[in-house]
Amino acid sequence: MTPTNSPEGLEHHEGTREPGVGRRAALGLTAGAVGAAAGLGAGIAVSDGASATTKSLVVDVAAIGETFRLFPAPALLPDANLDPSDLRGSMFWTEGYIYPEGTIQGDGFVPTSEGAIGHWMCRGHIISSATRPEPHIISNQEFIFGLIRPDRLFPPDTLTSAGLEATNEGLQDSLRAVTGGSGIYRGAAGQVLEIETGLNASVQPGLDLPAPNFRFEFDLDIPST
């Protein structure tokens, strides 16, 4: 495998394949089993007879605690005559920095732009209640490769994902759908494994809890040009 053209600080590994069933799908692996295996599968098959370039990409992310915003569900509002454990419908927003794989080692990491290769943005809804306490969240995430600057407000290389995430102890990894991309990731599809890797030094307002760190293992199919 050889590195491909990629944003600064990232390395991709690629190959070309014709449509077929991805290795993870063929093996029937669950997200937890994939996390235990600590490997990237072949991704989602490309339809309509088109060949695709496969890329493996791994990045670290540190959420920035002070960016966290929570917009409570009715059950959390004062004087609401509702079950306070029903958090469904609460909306949230948070941001983080993207770093090359291996940058974040354990708890206590301080999120700064130094060494960062992009921005991570996450928005979604809390879905937990007494009858289904976990997972906590369904969300959309944007991975923006390249720091936003006054002279470059819109870095062109991005990936997006959607799916479930978050448990009480972070013991199960979340397998999410890659829903698209732009720039060098234009037309991307596939999946990404989200792995919680600890807590950093920033604190989330309102929750008074340290913000989380993640590792994201992308398994991408990008249409060949």
Delimit the domains of the chain by residue range: 13-223
Render pLDDT for 12-60 as a digit per residue (tens, 0 to 9): 655 543 333 232 232 232 233 323 322 333 333 334 446 888 999 999 9
Render pLDDT for 119-176 as a digit per residue (tens, 0 to 9): 999 999 999 988 999 999 999 999 999 999 999 999 999 999 999 999 888 789 999 9
Of 3.30.950.10, 3.40.50.2000, 3.90.1150.10, 2.40.480.10, which CATH number belongs to 13-223?
2.40.480.10
44 phi/psi in degrees, rounded to 5: -85, 135
34: left (phi over 0), alpha (psi -120 to 50) or beta: alpha
**Helix H or strand E encompassing 94:** strand 91-100
Strand partners, 94: 122
What is the rounded CA–CA span in Å between residue 94 and residue 58? 21
- In the prediction, which pLDDT does 9 show? 65
In terms of Cα–Cα distance, which of 161, 159, 225, 222 is closest to 188? 222
- In the prediction, which pLDDT does 50 show? 60
Q: What pTM was estimated for this model as a whole?
A: 0.77
In this structure, which amino acid lies at residue 179?
T
> Which residue's entry shows tokens 């590792």?
215
- Confidence grade of residue 216 (pLDDT, cut at 50, 70, 90): very high
Rg (CA), the chain: 18
How many angstroms separate the Cα of 203 from the Cα of each of 13, 121, 122, 166?
35, 17, 16, 17
